[in-house]
Structure 1
Amino acid sequence: MANAPMDDNAFDRSEYRKADRHFRLVEEKLPEEAVSALAREVVRRLAFRMPHALKKEDLPTQSDIEQLCGALLSKNNDAADNFILSARRDGVQLEAIYLGYVAGAARRLGDMWDNDDISFIDVTLACGKLYRIIRGLRHVIAPGILGDRDDWPAMFALVPGETHTIGIEIATDVFRREGWDVDMMVALDHDTLIEKSERRSYKAIVLVANSDGMLEALTRLVLALRISQPLAHVIVAGNILDHHADIIDVVGADAVMKDMKTAVGTLRDLIA
């Protein structure tokens, strides 16, 4: 990627605001244990993206990481955003921003959390800020994440923990008969599903959940996929839609698929 400073217009403020609203709603709607699991998911998914291809001189120093963590833990809501955008304006490579600064800060936050150096509230706020930053930078970091993957139209996945597969099997069959190349993933645990999904770059990901008890698992899955599939459109389907009128905002999705009659058109319009 180029070393030229990033124009602020490249920062996706719409996705940034959606990610910020998502984390705020999660803190309001889900129990503390679920919020903690989501914060852990952010730390884990970001922390282990290692900068193998970067030169040592391109990596942030320990002092840089400490400054970014300080900004993330600051009461100033914009401090971390300003730190990252300032580094980019100074010509810091995008790989270094994502794999050095963001991943380094995630690892440091994880260590501080494990050592009880910061509170649950502190780390949750910091993780929310990290998440909204990478969503804001999704278009400029996407080539580094998706560059070696095959492009694929869609993935249909049953949320881990769900056991009723008939609905997703019917939907997959309908879309395939309409000419879509669809990967279907069922009966997989969370980590395996994410691992398998990272083999391709999907334009759309449809997540199927039926019971109200799947809200936490669905939210965690959307968050993980947002990190590994930064450009994919995420759609929620299944009977869970009957339980949550505001599910798009709560889980951080882009749209819902309410019925099979309009499903193909909905997905086609969303991608277009």
Structure 2
Amino acid sequence: MLIYLTDLSIEDKQWEDDMSLMANAVALPLIDRQVLRNLETHFIAPEIYTRDDVAARQAKLARIISNDIIPRLLKLHNDVIPDAPPVASLIEALAPSSADITGLADIVLGSDLEAAAAYVMVLRNRGLPMETLFVELLEPTARRLGEMWDKDECDFIDVTLGVARLQKLLAIFNDTHAMPALDQHRRVLMAMTPGNQHSFGVAMVERFLLAAGWDVRAELTGTADEIAAVARNSWFAVAGLTIGSERQIDSLKETIAQLRQQSRNRSIGIMVGGPIFTANPALSYEVGADATAPNAPAAVLVAQKLFDLAAAKSHA
């Protein structure tokens, strides 16, 4: 929503249509408020959602909207140039900026999911697909929350609540929030690649997943055969694997291949983590995984994305 279009050229009529679309997106909640409240039972552990500072957070949200969002929308309205740009330039210009990411992080740290949904709707209704919004807005926002936690700018519960709301946004926009027995399907198998001796990363991801309402099973010492056997005997939506160095790449590839061959869930999503994937995210596809995440809060959101993709395939 926080976008500048000073370099764009848009026909007046088209601009009026776009502004009307944006106004409607903000004015109309995407789903019923009661449904939003009910989603808490799926996307956050009950013991996490106890805070006594709701009023202060809502005041903070109001300040963000009045001091930042509204002035930028007014600027957006005034920066109209007569000639329309190429489509590629328009998409690039509409892509979420660092200010958008920071703004959404502030909103999800508050308590108003409707405001967060409206924020995403404005960008989606301007023509950006959910895949682009995930890669360039939602996942970076989760990553930003993790960075804020690392710098002690917010606490664990703050980050957990924020990530939970990002999960809900994904489920809402991907139409998986109404899936029957949703809570029974949000199960993750977390494992260390055989040969990896560093369990801290897995433990941290497990902690955030549990707080965000996932059912997690951790396998920290198993071989590739043993990890695959766990997935063969129990149903998991997602498997997460970590490695500590390049020496374990071959072991990781073997483990992923066996998971795909033997998993009870034939559409299991696989995410990987570790410093080498942070440095080179494309390597995740080379080892046979579906995605990677640079930190624990982002891993929670990636797990939700993989869950949504599998759910969409099963209902296609």
TM-score past 0.5 threshold:
no
User: What TM-score, normalized to structure 1?
Assistant: 0.43
* Greater RCO structure (CA 8 Å; 6+ sep): 1
Select the structure of larger CA radius of gyration.
2
User: What TM-score, normalized to structure 2?
Assistant: 0.38
